[in-house]
Amino acid sequence: MILQQMKEITDAQKKFFYSSQTLDVAFRKKQLAALKQAVKNNLTLLTDALHADLGKSAYESYMCEISLVLEEINYFLKHLSKLARPKKVGTSLAQFPAKCKIVHDPYGVVLIMSPWNYPVQLTLCPLVGAIAGGNCAVVKTSEYSLNVSSALEKVIAEAFVPDYITVVKGGREENTALLECPFDYIFFTGSVAVGKVVMKAASQQLIPVTLELGGKSPCIVDETADLKVTARRIVWGKLINSGQTCVAPDYILVHKSVASQLKQSIAERIKETYPDALHCEYYPHIITQRHFDRLLSLLDGMSVYSGGGYDAETLTIEPTILENVSEESKVMQEEIFGPILPVIEYENLSEAVEFIRKRSKPLALYLFSRDKGVIEYITKNIQFGGGCVNDTVIHLATTHMPFGGVGDSGMGGYHGKESFNTFTRAKSVLNKGRMFDNSLRYPPFTQSKYNTLKKFFK
């Protein structure tokens, strides 16, 4: 029954796609402008929904969700005409006379599956890329952020006809049915485990995928770091959305000589910004009871440097620093995705590098240092999705750089131009002149032609 419904949606969108309306760049820009308007019209609805689902303040929601969507739309309103223009390229001598060009082809009907933690921007930013690329889209929102799902449903219905873009709400059952439908592209944001389910299902129909996944993102602090600034920026990056951020610094690797000073600076900074976190109107709660229980279980038997309190009624957990953390502890086995920050000490930088390399390639890496040699070495020698030097998280809040993971943290990227590349494919078209035909390519394949051919391609 659900499968039948999902197939009807994809069939209707395929029909819309083959009407060729989306090939027109002016049409795409009009849709982007309509989306921008719908987001603005429903700003309060969206921020209220984010507050209801996650306890996010309107300020944080605007800073970390709405502004990114508007930036992404503005980027394409400004640059789409140029990006979408077919690109003339050279013709090799052997193919002369001909004209060659690369056409940026939309995929067709794309499926965008989004998570609950930044449910507005992680749904709408990929959607902006899909629209800019000239695709139709089915947007599957998360069952854990239901208020936002309903708000997004309204925004999208206000901006678009469903045969072009529509929202599907629901959980696993809907996802499983959608993954059986003949999409032309799948863009998934979520956990590594579900990423594997998505890729496996996509492989059955050879559907290309982008996977935006998670994992443990390390934060290195060396002995040259400015500890006050470091503490301020770590606390900000760790505690927006109460740590439920895919690129939050998951754990700290700090040089032994500055470890106790850093812990103290972080604890002080937490007190300054969240003096009473459990009753703070701008400190979000944990999304579900299951995640709340999972996070508390990570504290079992651990040495708490500061924090550790919680409120089971409101699903809120205090910002918590852990010290003397062993590699084997549970908190170091999985992505934390909450306001718990393990601090691990190292003596030589090579130990920190080894520590990171032994684990899955991280989605993000942060380094706090004033040593140019260290900065150069770490950014060059460790593979990670993206990251910052002397800051956290903000590398993703730009249309100028791609955002994405590597290895277990994902494949492919988006934002700005990278989104356009993700949601289109480069189609090569060679237009051959009729006047001249090089006889070398036609039989009979004589010895003298063979000799000429070898002179051509040596």
- Which amino acids are annotated catalytic? 212, 246
By CB under 6 A, residue 120 contacts ligand NAD: no
Binding residues for ligand NAD restricted to 64-103, rule: CB under 6 A: none
- C-alpha to C-alpha distance for 371 and 356, rounded to whole angstroms: 20
Which of the ranges 92-100, 172-180, 349-357, 444-452 carries the binding residues for ligand NAD, by CB under 6 A? 172-180
Comparison of 201 and 296: residue with beta carbon closer to ligand NAD: 201
Candidate list 55, 106, 133, 214; residue touching ligand NAD; CB under 6 A: 214
Number of helices (H), then strands (E), belonging to the chain: the values are 16, 18
Backbone angles phi, psi at 407, to 5 degrees: 60, -130
Comparison of 50 and 122: residue with beta carbon closer to ligand NAD: 122
How many residues bind ligand NAD (CB under 6 A)? The answer is 25
- C-alpha to C-alpha distance for 3 and 178, rounded to whole angstroms: 7
By CB under 6 A, residue 126 contacts ligand NAD: no
Binding residues for ligand NAD restricted to 406-425, rule: CB under 6 A: 410
Candidate list 42, 121, 166, 189; residue touching ligand NAD; CB under 6 A: 189
- To ligand NAD, the closest distance from the beta carbon of 42 in angstroms equals 21
Comparison of 77 and 197: residue with beta carbon closer to ligand NAD: 197
**Token reading at 407:** 């290895």
Candidate list 25, 197, 199, 401; residue touching ligand NAD; CB under 6 A: 197
- C-alpha to C-alpha distance for 383 and 372, rounded to whole angstroms: 18
Which of the ranges 62-70, 207-215, 293-301, 371-379 carries the binding residues for ligand NAD, by CB under 6 A? 207-215
Name beta bridge partners: 311: 316
Cis bond leading into 362, ω under 30°? no
- The amino acid sitting at 445 is F
- CA torsion angle 447 451 456 458 (round to 10): 120
CA 268 → CA 264, 273, 302, 405, distances in Å? Answer: 6, 9, 21, 32
Chain centroid to CA 172: how far? Answer: 21
By CB under 6 A, residue 142 contacts ligand NAD: yes
Comparison of 156 and 225: residue with beta carbon closer to ligand NAD: 156
By CB under 6 A, residue 133 contacts ligand NAD: no
CA 107 → CA 135, 209, 346, 410, distances in Å? Answer: 6, 11, 48, 20
**Residue number closest to ligand NAD, CB atom:** 214
Which residue is listed with tokens 């603005």?
40
Candidate list 191, 260, 273, 314; residue touching ligand NAD; CB under 6 A: 191
- To ligand NAD, the closest distance from the beta carbon of 188 in angstroms equals 7
- To ligand NAD, the closest distance from the beta carbon of 100 in angstroms equals 36
Candidate list 21, 176, 260, 273; residue touching ligand NAD; CB under 6 A: 176
- To ligand NAD, the closest distance from the beta carbon of 197 in angstroms equals 4
**Token reading at 43:** 């700003």
Comparison of 212 and 222: residue with beta carbon closer to ligand NAD: 212
- What sign does the dihedral 118-119-122-128 (CA atoms) show? negative
Binding residues for ligand NAD restricted to 323-342, rule: CB under 6 A: 335, 337
Closest CA to 98 of 107, 89, 106, 110: 89
Comparison of 308 and 412: residue with beta carbon closer to ligand NAD: 412
By CB under 6 A, residue 213 contacts ligand NAD: yes
**Which residues are within 8 A (CB) of 32 and not within 5 positions of it... i.e. 6 or more apart?**
73, 76, 77, 80, 128, 131, 132
- What sign does the dihedral 64-67-73-79 (CA atoms) show? negative
Which residue is listed with tokens 């852990």?
322
Q: Which residues bind ligand NAD (CB under 6 A)?
A: 113, 115-117, 122, 142-143, 171-172, 175-176, 189-191, 194, 197, 212-214, 246, 335, 337, 363, 405, 410
